[in-house]
Structure formats: structure tokens, C-alpha cells
Amino acid sequence: MPNQSRTFSHLISGLNSTFVAKFNYGRGIFEHQWTSSHHPDGTRTGLGPLYNGTGCAQCHVRDGRGQPPGPEAPEISGFVMQLGVATVASAALTPDPNYGWQLQDRAIDGVRPEGRVVVNYTSVPTRLGEETVQLRRPSYDVVDLAYGPLASGIRFGPRVAPPVFGLGYVSAIDPADIIANADDNDLDGDGISGRPNFVTDPVSGKAQLGRFGWKASEPSIRAQAQRAAAIDIGLSSPDHLSPYGDCMATQAICDADKTGKPEP
Ligand code: HEC
């Protein structure tokens, strides 16, 4: 009888011992609950100062998906609010000058979290075949802002954590196959449209096909993981340009935290 709670967490069969060891090392990091650098136990520390979760598995519960907040689950679990400012000069979004790329709703002791997301739902009657069903349309508010106003023209990107199993297979798809299947305007009429997203690989600095995240914003699992470490948990990594997570120049608390050295 397989362990039900681990249904989606098994490694594929047939791996040699080197890959089994890598898998187990990765799982250890994924399931680790990080603490702040000021924590007395001193091991695997570096949480924050601003963060959304204390570990990967907190949002990707049992390697599965997160949950949007709602009346039945007011505590946010595996949901984040990404931020972006549209500038006239370029189509690309830039981070909010005070809050960065994401609203961190948690912080280590002595630091104020950036704010809180409130979600309200309106019931919308919708035809589904023969039936009329009630669907919920969310609207988002960010409250209790601790570091000044959000930029004018701020755009919210609410995101629920997707499942993370099977992504090795997604990595293995040839980019040419993804590009060949692009169908921006659903010309083949199968009800599915999509176009490839090209992004800059933070490691190589080159344009690459995006594959991960709801909008294919990250080119590799490595890039997605280092972004998650920095922005969701506040951990630095060799790849991430800012060793201090999603802190902005206006957030003096992050400067204070820089006395701690970046996590290796
Ligand atoms: C605070 C919640 C949170 C934490 C903590 C978190 N994630 Fe995520 N994760 C998300 C969200 C939300 C997305 C979707 C992001 C997007 O679409 O831009 C995501 C996306 C991903 C994806 C892409 C999945 C796909 O199908 O494309 C991977 C891989 C991933 N996370 C790995 C990690 C790892 C590794 C860690 C720990 C270092 C981690 N995550 C920590 C919320 C979280």
C-alpha cells in the first residue's frame, strides 16, 4: 500500500545512486523549514528578513498546489501577490520601488511585514452546458502597508503555488516542439491558445524559452528555485543577483540585516 500522503513525491524508478542521492538532497532542502540568521541553533538559517513562507513545502504542500485565501481558508497558504509597475518607456514591468517584485506578508522578529492581501469574492451566475452554476470572481486589496505607498500604476499578479511533481519531464521537452505547438489565436480551433514566452536566463544572461510558473516566466527549475529562495523565503544563492531577497533601497531594515553574511 503506497503512503497516500506521499503519492506525488516519489522519485522515478531506475535512477542510479548518484541521482538518488541528488533527489534526497533536493528533497531535504525542499522540506526544510528555514529560520532567521539570528536563530540560536545556527544551522541552515537565513530566512527573511521579509518572506512569504518558511520553506518550499509550506506552499507546495506534499509537492502539490497551494490554496487561494477565501472565507473558508482566511490564512493564506501557497498564495502570493506579485507586483509590477508598467512604465511608458517599455512593455516590461519593473518592481515596485518600495515593495519589489512581491508583497511579503511575513517577516522575522522585529521587522514589519510589508502588508496583507485581502480577497473578496463576488458570485457570478455562469452557463455551463445545460446548467447555470455560480462561479466566484475574486477581487484583491493590499492593506496594512508598512513601507509607504505602492507605485501608481501598480499591477497585481495573484498566484497560487502550482504542483511541482513531474517537472523534470517538462524540462526535457525540446524547445522546438514547444515553439512548433504555439497557437496564439487558436487558429486550429481546438479551444486552446498559447504562445511561447522568451525570458532572460538569470544564470547565462541569454534569452531562453520560459517553461515554469503560470506564465512560463522562468527558463529552468534552477532559475525558478533560486527565485523562490530569494523572493519567497529571503534566502540568497550563488545565482541570485541580490543576496537579500526582495528588499528595496527604501527598506532600511534590509540594510541592517546585511550585517549577516549571505547564505552560501
Ligand atoms: C510562499 C509560497 C511559496 C514558496 C515558499 C515557494 N513557492 Fe514555488 N511557487 C509558488 C507560486 C505562487 C508559484 C507560481 C509562480 C508564478 O507563476 O509566477 C510557484 C512556482 C514554482 C515552480 C514552478 C512550477 C510549475 O509548474 O511551473 C517551482 C519548480 C517551484 N515553485 C519550486 C519552489 C522551490 C524549490 C521552493 C523553495 C526554494 C519554492 N517553490 C517555494 C509559491 C511558493
Residue 103: Cβ-neighbour burial (10 angstroms; 0-12, 13-18, 19+): buried
Residue 61, ligand 1, Cβ within 6 A: no
Residue 233, ligand 1, Cβ within 6 A: yes
- pLDDT band at residue 89 using 50, 70 and 90 as cut-offs: low
Q: What is the arithmetic mean of pLDDT over 114-134?
A: 93
Question: Can you give the pLDDT at residue 8?
Answer: 82
Q: 208-254: per-residue pLDDT in tens?
A: 999 999 999 999 999 999 899 999 999 887 776 555 678 888 887 77
Backbone angles phi, psi at 57, to 5 degrees: -70, -15
Task: Determine the atom of ligand 1 nearest the C-alpha atom of 214.
Answer: 17
d(CA 134, CA 125): 4
Return the ∠ at Cα 70 (arms to 65 and 73), rounded to 5°. Answer: 70
What does the mean pLDDT of the chain come to? 86
Q: What is the arithmetic mean of pLDDT over 170-195?
A: 93
* Edge-to-edge strand ranges of the sheet holding 79-86: 93-94, 79-86, 154-160
Residue 168, ligand 1, Cβ within 6 A: no
- pLDDT band at residue 1 using 50, 70 and 90 as cut-offs: very low
Question: Can you give the pLDDT at residue 2?
Answer: 47
CB neighbour list of residue 247: distance below 8 Å, 6 or more residues apart: 49, 50, 100, 253, 254, 257
Q: How far is the CA of 189 from the centre of ligand 1 (A)?
A: 32
In the DSSP assignment, the letter for residue 96 is: B
Which helix (H) or strand (E) is 133 found in, with range? strand 131-143
Reduced to 3 DSSP states, what percent helix, strand and coil does the chain have, rounded to the nearest 5? 20, 25, 55
Q: How far is the CA of 228 from the centre of ligand 1 (A)?
A: 6
Residue 231, ligand 1, Cβ within 6 A: no
Is the peptide bond preceding residue 2 cis, with omega within 30 degrees of 0? no
C-alpha cell belonging to residue 246: 526582495
Whether the per-residue pLDDT at 187 is higher than 90: the answer is yes
Lowest mean pLDDT among 4-8, 25-29, 120-124, 215-219: 4-8
Nearest partner of 35 among 232, 235, 222, judged by Cα: 235
Whether the per-residue pLDDT at 35 is higher than 70: the answer is yes
Question: Can you give the pLDDT at residue 195?
Answer: 92
Question: Can you give the pLDDT at residue 251?
Answer: 82
C-alpha cell belonging to residue 142: 493590499
In 3-state terms, what secondary structure has residue 50?
strand
Q: What is the arithmetic mean of pLDDT over 2-23?
A: 84
Backbone angles phi, psi at 95, to 5 degrees: -70, 155
Whether the per-residue pLDDT at 32 is higher than 90: the answer is yes
- For residues 231 and 49, the answer to whether their CB atoms sit within 8 Å is no
Q: 125-175: per-residue pLDDT in tens?
A: 999 999 999 999 999 999 999 999 999 989 999 999 999 999 999 999 999
Question: Can you give the pLDDT at residue 259?
Answer: 46
- The residue ranking higher by pLDDT, 58 or 249, is 58
Farthest CA pair distance, the chain? 63
Q: How far is the CA of 104 from the centre of ligand 1 (A)?
A: 14
Task: Determine the atom of ligand 1 nearest the C-alpha atom of 167.
Answer: 26
Residue 232, ligand 1, Cβ within 6 A: yes
Percentage above 70 pLDDT, the chain: 87
Question: Can you give the pLDDT at residue 255?
Answer: 63
- pLDDT band at residue 189 using 50, 70 and 90 as cut-offs: very high
Q: What is the arithmetic mean of pLDDT over 75-104?
A: 86
Q: What is the arithmetic mean of pLDDT over 21-32?
A: 93
